[in-house]
């Protein structure tokens, strides 16, 4: 190497290895990290990791730091003895950075959730995969997603992945969304008739809209809205005009018709005793009341629930021609005539009347007539009722609520569908999703798939099963959780320790070992270190979460730590030795100075002079030290 | 000294109660020493009744010495005469603003249980707390209401006899001990203890000294006769009694205050015998503190390094330890002065701040069963101590360079002391970060996880490293070197700023923050004289404060937020930060205005760079 190229190299080393560059890089890292913690406080840990610690420029700064440190050493070649501390320190920094690089690329940091009594041989490796399960063979196939992009906070609109064929279905991943939600959607594609209307309520606070189904009222904003379909014009009129029902007599009635006369007896009385039916000579005694009667295998009635689904009674009719048993069903008033009974007292018809439950009127009701027209019925203050015709898109004033009501859509075959949709504002506990396209022959559609949600997707005649989850990696040994214990401070509920009592089984050697993993006490086995991470109670059993780590970089980093500390101490010692040398020199100067002034009495002046001399010397040696390093 | 202490104590406790009626009387003739020493289960340990009484009385009234009374007497009075005490004002609500918010009478600041329990606005707010979703944070008013609710609940529990657990567990050495009430259903073996306790009660209420002494010793005897799977060590109980009676930290800071006054005088006396006196006084304070730490360590059975109170003790201890070494090595009068001042201040903060909890509490599992707490915490606290000493010297230096620019010798010596402190401090700080990293590796499985506490400790270390590097950097950087540096700074701003664009900040907070960061970066990179180094050291120490307090109190995030404190600390930090900033700004202006006439304080002039060439 020629002298000139040598000096050019030296110049480059000097500039890139200069303290100025070191200071710039340190400052940039410092400001970057401080901003990251501020961002973490305001947003989330993951946000800070994504935008700062794991960002390309942050790693770039660390690389620059490494280059700077390396060049600062190169610039000082050949090294003097007194620079030993400097070299150890700065090589230590390089070793730490190298170790971190090894950890980043070769380290395994997974998790293992294990239930008491369970044995596992795999752990989750924190890399996203799509797992396909073959419909026939049940064989699994894992497709690893690009670890750097998928799983992060940034949405991806064009995933470039080769399509995967499985069981005649071609599956392609199209997009990635960092967060997703289940969205309720109402579609008009139900095979059976199912009526629903979408209603928009507008008041001072803004718009609120919801679907109202014909089977029950819905709350929109602060209003209850119901949707009723009338079977016939009579019911339509009744629904439209009926006021909030007053107290209808709710007693159940046993009605007896005999020779044009009608007798009505309250059920409760007939249950207690045989009640004479007027002057007919008959008495009725109800033996059983069955709110939900069904006919059992033996042909007898039995009750299956307390709900008045099929109210029925069994009764004894006691008359001049003896006692006979009868049944009566509220919903089938003609039962006894249909099925007869005995000939005796056949002119006596017994029906069971159960009052229809009070129609619980809703303040706002949308009522569909048998002609298909919609009307809205509003219950106003003072049990006043108004109604008017309702057309799609027309606003109706709601006088009682200072709001307007608009009918937006009307479906006759409504179906509530749950679909996954990406979210724009990413939450703290987010659920990532991928948009998957399925194709088989002519059939082709797209669907979002949420993480950890397994799905069986029907594509034409074919189907596929797939799961978006985390990669399972083999431990190489089996681990069984025998017991999980939470140690508590005596007499309190405060936890003192979390302990997983595990058994480790090596299938190759057959060795079986019992270990305890607790906070601060990891255990090592088969190349992995297991740490107590967290726990959960699931029913009676505990589930313990262990961190599974394999980190070849750690030893390197720790070696770097030791070098860094050692080097800094050596630097300090050398500086202190320098300082003592300066003091000695100053003392020597002092003596000379004192003999020169010859007046030992002016101690104040003397010490001040001594100080300034020492300062001058100190700075000179200090400068030399600095120059040397 | 002891009288002064007592007067101070009595004054200190009496003040908030001034003007309140005090009708229920405590028995005057009784000797509670036997009862005081009886161990009971409390807060996961088996302290003597003395400790429990101090803890509970402080929890309810805010002070261990209600009206200057013995906490054991007060606790017994609450236990034995609940009806009489429900109408006594014991719960203090000091803040007038809070009182008016709660619609409590303005003229009164201490309230009885009955008054608060019947006060509808307060009870409505307390009922509102229960409706909070789990995990939802309290706003400032709610957390204050929650505090009051805690006090009410504690007092009620004391009055219901539910806080004293003297009955040992037979089966389980770590099992729960019982209360007297629970023992009364447990059969004949408990009878002597229960009867004795009933007699203690009767004689206490009757203020009958002889009967009380007899009943107390019978109670103690009956308890020790009961079968127990575990009993606390008697020696440890004795130490705990002594520890609380002595209050070593208060003695230590008082001695340190004396040392600080002597050291101030010493600046003018300038006699070596006086320097020895200062050193001895400081050492005595340090020794008392060390003794206190040793006692706390013995009582807790672990190193006292688990919370803010204990870390302040270590901070003070580190200052003492470093000062004693530095006095010998550096032989400068600023060393004992600054050490005594800072040591006393941090101990006073621990002893006198109402937010500090001086009691020994259960520690979370991550802190338990590990030697790393005993290695990491002391190292990091000693490093904070040294850097705190450095920041005090830096303040003195900044003021001196502005006000007394002609005292070159003094300034140069301050600069030297400051430099040594920073150098040692940053080594200890990095040692602390490294041991913390190793602890993290053994408990969480990773040596670095970008946890905010980790990050801020590294930020502070980098700040100090930048100071040290720029200070000795006499290499002339080529123009393009500056250009690349500037470009990098602009590049970082271009990357970082947009990330915060959508964050709403009040007023111009964001602008001020970024301007501040820019000015600080410029200062750290470009200014390199002695004055600038001192100013930078002050800024860097605020990074240490951010690590020590800010991560928990301002950011409130991360694995190291062990759950203390609320927003008040953040406000105080900003307030003192502003004062400090104003002081430094004023000094800088004065210094810069006067500089042209005296140019030689900047780091001593150096010969042109001859880098690479071995000297």
Q: Is B473 on the interface with A (CB under 8 A)?
A: yes
Task: Give A587's contacts in chain B (Cβ within 8 Å).
Answer: none
Q: Residue B447 and residue A557: Cβ atoms within 8 Å?
A: yes
* More confident of the two residues A67 and A303: A67
Task: State residue A257 phi and psi, 5-degree precision.
Answer: -110, 125
Phi, psi angles (nearest 5°) of residue B105: -55, 135
**CB pair distance less than 8 Å for B362 and A496:** yes
Q: Is B182 on the interface with A (CB under 8 A)?
A: no
Q: Do B557 and A565 touch (CB under 8 A)?
A: no
Q: Give the pLDDT confidence score for residue B24 in this predicted structure.
A: 60
Pair A180, A423: CB distance under 8 Å: yes
Q: Which of B310, B329, B322, B330 is nearest to B282 (CA)?
A: B322
Alpha carbons A268 and A285: distance in angstroms, whole number: 10
Tell me what pLDDT residue A620 has.
Answer: 44
Backbone torsions φ then ψ of A334, nearest 5 degrees: -95, 10
> When comparing pLDDT for A582 and B155, which is higher?
B155
Among B315, B298, B313, residue whose Cα is nearest residue B250: B313
Mean pLDDT (whole number) for B376-392:
92
Q: Which residue of A has its CA nearest to B443?
A: A520
Q: Which of B427, B450, B517 sits opposite A572 (nearest CB)?
A: B427
- The residues that bridge with A164 in the sheet, in sequence order, are A171
Q: Given this model, what pLDDT does residue B4 score?
A: 47
Assess whether pLDDT exceeds 60 at residue B613. Answer: no
Check: complex ipTM more than 0.85: no
Cβ-contact A532, A518 below 8 angstroms: yes
Contacts of B584 by beta carbon, 8 Å cutoff, 6+ apart: B398, B535, B538
What pLDDT digit, counting tens, does each position of B208-236 carry?
999 999 999 999 999 998 888 888 999 99
Q: Closest residue of B to A81, CA-based?
A: B614
Residue at token pair 């939600």: A181
Write the pLDDT tens digit of every residue in B113-128.
888 888 888 888 888 8
In tens, the pLDDT along B510-553 reads 677 778 888 888 888 888 888 999 999 999 999 999 888 877 77
Residue whose tokens read 């009055």: B159
Between residues A283 and B510, the one the model is more confident about: A283
Q: Under a CB-based contact definition with an 8 Å cutoff, are residues B378 and B314 in contact?
A: yes
- Work out the angle at residue A326's Cα, subtended by the Cα atoms of residues A321 and A332, and round it to the nearest 5 degrees: 140
Contact A36 B524 (CB under 8 A): no
Report the residue from A495, A558, A628 with minimal CB separation from B438: A558
Tens of pLDDT, residues A437-492: 888 888 888 888 888 877 778 787 777 888 888 888 888 899 999 999 988 898 88
A628 pLDDT more than 50: no
Structure confidence at residue A595 as a pLDDT band (50, 70, 90): low
* Closest chain B residue to the Cα of A604, Cα to Cα: B270
Q: What pLDDT shows up at residue B53?
A: 95
Per-residue buried b or exposed e for A224-244, using 16+ beta carbons within 10 Å of the residue's own CB:
ebbbbbbeeeebbeebbeeee
For residue B201, what pLDDT is reported? 92
In terms of phi and psi (left: phi > 0; alpha: psi -120 to 50; beta: otherwise), the region of B270 is left
Contact A78 B445 (CB under 8 A): no
Confidence of residue A421 (pLDDT cuts 50, 70, 90): confident
Phi and psi of B37, rounded to 5°?
A: -90, -5
Chain B: residue nearest A626 by CA? Answer: B472
Flag if A488 and B174 touch (Cβ within 8 Å). yes
Q: Is B545 on the interface with A (CB under 8 A)?
A: no
CB atoms within 10 A of CB B417: 22
In the three-class reduction of DSSP (H, G, I as helix; E, B as strand; rest coil), residue B295 is classed as helix
B430 touches chain A (CB under 8 A): yes
C-beta atoms of A19 and B473 within 8 A: yes
| Choice among A57-66, A267-276, A413-422, B132-141 with the minimum mean pLDDT | B132-141
pLDDT digits (tens, 9 = 90+) for B70-100: 999 999 999 998 888 888 888 988 778 888 8
CA distance linking residue B495 with residue B487, whole number of Å: 12
The DSSP result for B535-563, as a single string, is: HHHHHHHHHHHIIIIIIIIII--STT--S
Cβ contact (<8 Å) for A623 and B606? yes
Pick B557's closest partner by Cβ from A41, A78, A495: A41
How many residues are listed for chain A in this entry? 629
What is the pLDDT averaged over residues A173-188? 83
Contact A36 B455 (CB under 8 A): yes
CB B337 within 8 A of CB B260: yes
Classified as helix, coil or strand, A387 is strand
pLDDT-above-70 percentage for chain A: 86
Quote the CA–CA distance of B62 and B74 in Å, as a whole number.
Answer: 13
Question: Closest approach of chain B CAs to the CA of A142, in angstroms?
Answer: 27
β A433-440/A443-450 pair status: antiparallel
pLDDT band at B426 (very low <50, low <70, confident <90, very high): very high
Q: What are phi and psi of B179, to 5 degrees?
A: -85, 170
Q: Report the run of H or E that residue B498 belongs to, with start and end.
A: helix B479-499
C-alpha distances in Å from residue A301, one per residue of A279, A289, A340? 31, 11, 17
Residues of B with Cβ-Cβ distance to A608 under 8 angstroms = 409
pLDDT score recorded for residue B486: 85
Residues 6+ apart with CB under 8 A from A493: none
* Residue A244 pLDDT level (bands cut at 50, 70, 90): very low
Kindly tell me if the per-residue pLDDT of B405 is higher than 50: yes
Which of A273-282, A535-544, B586-595 comes out lowest in average pLDDT? A273-282
B2-12: per-residue pLDDT in tens? Answer: 444 444 444 44
- Residue A603: the pLDDT is 40
Confidence band for B334, pLDDT divided at 50, 70 and 90: confident
Residue-wise pLDDT tens digits, A379-411 = 776 667 788 888 888 888 887 777 888 888 888
Nearest residue of B to residue A83, measured between CA atoms: B614
- Residues contacting residue B58 through CB under 8 Å, at least 6 positions apart: B64, B71
Residue B24's alpha-carbon distances to A52, A594, B54, B93, in angstroms, are: 63, 77, 20, 20
Q: Do the bridges between strand A528-538 and strand A384-390 make them parallel or antiparallel, or are there none, so unpaired?
A: unpaired
Distance from CA of B36 to the nearest CA of A (A): 20
Mean pLDDT computed over every residue of chain B? 84
pLDDT digits 0-9 by tens, B570-582 = 777 888 889 999 9
Instruction: Say whether A28 and B556 touch across the interface (CB within 8 A).
Output: no
Residue A619 has pLDDT above 80, yes or no: no
Region of A177 (left: φ > 0; alpha: ψ -120 to 50; beta: rest) is: beta
> Mean pLDDT across chain A, nearest whole number?
80
Distances in whole angstroms, Cα of residue A478 to Cα of each of A118, A482, A483, A525: 10, 13, 16, 10
DSSP letter string, A147-166: TTTTTSSS-BS------EEE
Distance CA A489, CA A485 (A): 13
Contact map slice: B 52-71 vs A, CB within 8 A: none
More confident position, B556 or B26:
B26
Query: For chain B, first and last CA: distance in Å?
Result: 59
Closest residue by Cα to residue B609 from A18, A439, A454, A373: A18
- Phi, then psi, of A410 in degrees rounded to 5: -145, 120
With cut-offs at 50, 70 and 90, classify the pLDDT of residue A203: confident
pTM of the predicted protein model: 0.75
Q: Within 13 A of B176's CA, how many CA atoms are on the CB side?
A: 11
pLDDT confidence of residue A596: 53
C-alpha to C-alpha distance for A420 and A448, rounded to whole angstroms = 6
Local structure of residue A338 (DSSP, 8 states): H
Is it the case that residue B564 has pLDDT exceeding 50? Answer: no
pLDDT value at residue B614: 32
Helix (H) or strand (E) holding A440: strand A433-440
* pLDDT one-digit tens code per residue, A85-123: 999 999 999 999 999 999 988 988 888 999 998 999 888
């Amino acid at each position: 190497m020629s002298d000139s190229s040598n000096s050019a190299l030296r110049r480059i080393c000097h500039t890139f290895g200069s303290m100025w560059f070191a200071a710039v890089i340190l400052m940039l890292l410092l400001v970057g990290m401080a901003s990251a913690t501020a961002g973490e406080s305001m947003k989330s840990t993951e946000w800070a990791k994504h935008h700062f610690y794991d960002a390309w420029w942050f790693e770039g700064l660390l690389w620059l730091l490494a280059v700077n440190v390396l060049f600062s050493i190169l610039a000082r070649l050949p090294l003097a003895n007194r620079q030993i501390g400097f070299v150890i320190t700065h090589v230590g920094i390089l070793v730490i950075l190298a170790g971190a690089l090894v950890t980043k690329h070769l380290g395994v940091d997974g998790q293992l959730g294990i239930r008491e009594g369970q044995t596992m041989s795999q752990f989750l490796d924190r890399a996203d995969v799509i797992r396909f399960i073959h419909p026939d063979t049940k064989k699994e196939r894992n497709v690893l997603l690009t670890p750097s992009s998928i799983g992060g906070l940034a949405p991806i609109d064009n995933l470039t992945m080769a399509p995967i064929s499985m069981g005649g279905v071609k599956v392609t991943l199209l997009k990635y969304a960092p967060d997703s939600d289940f969205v309720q959607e109402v579609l008009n594609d139900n095979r059976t008739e199912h009526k629903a209307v979408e209603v928009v309520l507008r008041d001072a606070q803004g718009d609120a809209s919801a679907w109202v189904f014909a089977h029950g009222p819905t709350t929109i904003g602060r209003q209850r809205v119901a949707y009723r379909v009338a079977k016939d014009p009579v019911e339509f009129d009744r629904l439209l005009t009926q006021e909030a029902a007053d107290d209808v007599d709710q007693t159940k009635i046993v009605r007896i018709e005999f020779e044009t006369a009608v007798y009505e007896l309250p059920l409760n009385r007939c249950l207690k005793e045989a009640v004479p039916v007027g002057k007919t000579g008959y008495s009725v005694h109800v033996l059983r009341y069955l709110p939900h009667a069904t006919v059992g295998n033996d042909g007898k009635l039995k009750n299956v629930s307390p709900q008045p689904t099929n109210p029925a009674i069994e009764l004894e009719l006691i008359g001049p021609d003896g006692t006979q048993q009868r049944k009566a069903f509220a919903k089938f008033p003609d039962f006894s005539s249909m099925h007869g009974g005995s000939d005796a007292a056949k002119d006596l018809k017994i029906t069971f009347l159960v009052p229809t439950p009070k129609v619980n009127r809703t303040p706002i009701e949308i009522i569909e007539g048998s002609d298909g027209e919609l009307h809205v019925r509003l219950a106003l203050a003072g049990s006043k009722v108004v109604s008017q015709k309702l057309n799609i898109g027309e606003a109706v004033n709601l006088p009682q609520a200072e709001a307007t009501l608009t009918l937006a859509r009307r479906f006759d075959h409504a179906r509530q569908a749950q679909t996954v949709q990406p979210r724009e504002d990413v939450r703290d506990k987010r659920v990532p999703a991928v948009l998957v396209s399925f194709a088989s022959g002519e059939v082709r559609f797209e669907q979002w798939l949420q993480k950890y949600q397994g799905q069986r997707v029907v594509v034409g005649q074919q189907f596929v099963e797939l799961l978006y989850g985390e990669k399972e990696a083999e431990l190489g040994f089996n681990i069984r959780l025998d017991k999980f214990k939470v140690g508590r401070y005596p007499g309190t509920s405060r936890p003192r320790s979390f302990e997983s009592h595990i058994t480790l089984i090596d299938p190759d050697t057959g060795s079986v070992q019992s270990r305890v993993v607790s906070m601060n006490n990891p255990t090592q086995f088969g190349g992995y270190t297991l740490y107590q991470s967290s726990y959960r109670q699931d029913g009676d059993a505990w589930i313990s979460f262990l961190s599974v780590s394999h980190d070849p970089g750690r030893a390197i980093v720790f070696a770097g730590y030791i070098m860094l500390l050692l080097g800094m101490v050596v630097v300090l010692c050398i500086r202190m030795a320098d300082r003592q040398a300066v003091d000695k020199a100053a003392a020597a100067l002092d003596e000379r100075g004192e003999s020169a002034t010859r007046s030992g009495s002016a101690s104040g002046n003397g010490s001040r002079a001594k100080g300034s001399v020492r300062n001058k010397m100190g700075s000179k040696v200090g400068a030399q030290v600095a120059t040397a390093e | 000294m002891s009288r002064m202490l007592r007067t101070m104590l009595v004054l200190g406790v009496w003040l908030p109660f001034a003007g309140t009626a005090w009708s229920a009387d405590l028995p005057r003739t009784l000797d509670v020493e036997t009862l005081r020493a009886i161990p009971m289960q409390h807060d996961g340990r088996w302290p003597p009744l003395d400790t429990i009484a101090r803890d509970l009385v402080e929890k309810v009234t805010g002070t261990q010495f209600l009206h200057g009374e013995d906490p054991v007497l007060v606790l017994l009075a609450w236990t034995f005469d609940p009806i009489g005490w429900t109408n006594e004002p014991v719960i203090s609500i000091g803040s007038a603003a809070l009182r008016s918010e709660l619609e409590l009478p303005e003229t009164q600041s201490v309230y009885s249980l009955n008054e608060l329990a019947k006060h509808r606005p307060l009870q409505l707010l307390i009922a509102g707390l229960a409706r909070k979703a789990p995990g939802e944070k309290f706003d400032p008013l709610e957390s204050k209401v929650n505090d009051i609710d805690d006090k009410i609940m504690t007092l009620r529990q004391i009055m219901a006899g539910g806080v004293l657990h003297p009955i040992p567990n037979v089966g389980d050495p770590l099992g729960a001990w019982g209360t007297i009430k629970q023992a009364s259903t447990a059969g004949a073996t408990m009878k002597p203890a229960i009867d004795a306790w009933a007699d203690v009660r009767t004689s206490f209420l009757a203020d009958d000294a002889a009967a009380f002494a007899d009943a107390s010793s019978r109670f103690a005897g009956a308890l020790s006769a009961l079968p127990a799977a575990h009993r606390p060590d008697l020696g440890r109980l004795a130490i705990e009694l002594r520890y609380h009676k002595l209050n070593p930290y208060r003695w230590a800071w008082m001695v340190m205050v004396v040392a600080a006054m002597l050291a101030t005088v010493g600046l003018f006396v300038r006699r070596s015998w006086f320097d020895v006196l200062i050193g001895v006084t400081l050492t005595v304070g340090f020794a008392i503190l060390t003794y206190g730490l040793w006692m706390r360590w013995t009582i807790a059975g672990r190193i006292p390094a688990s919370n803010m109170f204990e870390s302040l003790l270590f901070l003070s201890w580190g200052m003492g330890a470093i000062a004693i070494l530095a006095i010998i090595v550096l032989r400068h009068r600023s060393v004992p002065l600054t050490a005594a001042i800072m040591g006393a201040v941090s101990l006073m903060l621990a002893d006198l701040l109402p937010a500090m909890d001086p009691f020994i509490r259960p520690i979370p599992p991550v802190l338990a069963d590990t030697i790393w707490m005993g290695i990491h915490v002391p190292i990091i606290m000693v490093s904070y101590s040294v850097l705190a000493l450095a920041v005090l010297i830096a303040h003195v230096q900044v003021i001196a360079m502005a006000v007394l620019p002609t005292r070159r010798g003094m300034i140069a010596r301050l600069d030297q002391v400051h430099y040594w402190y920073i150098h040692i401090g940053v080594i200890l700080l990095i040692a602390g970060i490294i041991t913390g990293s190793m602890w993290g590796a053994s408990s969480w499985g990773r040596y670095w996880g970008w946890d905010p506490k980790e990050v801020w400790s590294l930020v502070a270390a980098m700040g100090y490293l930048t100071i040290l590097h720029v200070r000795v950097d006499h290499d002339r950087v080529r123009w393009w070197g500056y250009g690349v540096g500037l470009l990098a700074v602009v590049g970082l701003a271009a990357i970082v700023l947009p990330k915060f664009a959508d964050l709403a900040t009040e007023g111009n907070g964001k602008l001020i923050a970024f301007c501040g960061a820019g000015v600080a970066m410029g200062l750290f990179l470009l200014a390199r004289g002695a004055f600038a180094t001192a100013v930078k050291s002050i800024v860097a120490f605020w990074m240490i404060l951010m690590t020590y307090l800010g991560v928990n109190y301002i950011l409130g995030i991360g694995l190291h937020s062990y759950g203390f404190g609320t927003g008040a600390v953040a406000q105080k930090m900003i307030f003192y930060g502003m004062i400090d900033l104003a002081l430094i700004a004023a000094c800088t202006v004065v210094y810069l205005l006067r500089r042209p006439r005296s140019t030689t304080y900047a780091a001593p002039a150096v010969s042109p760079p001859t880098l690479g060439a071995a000297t």
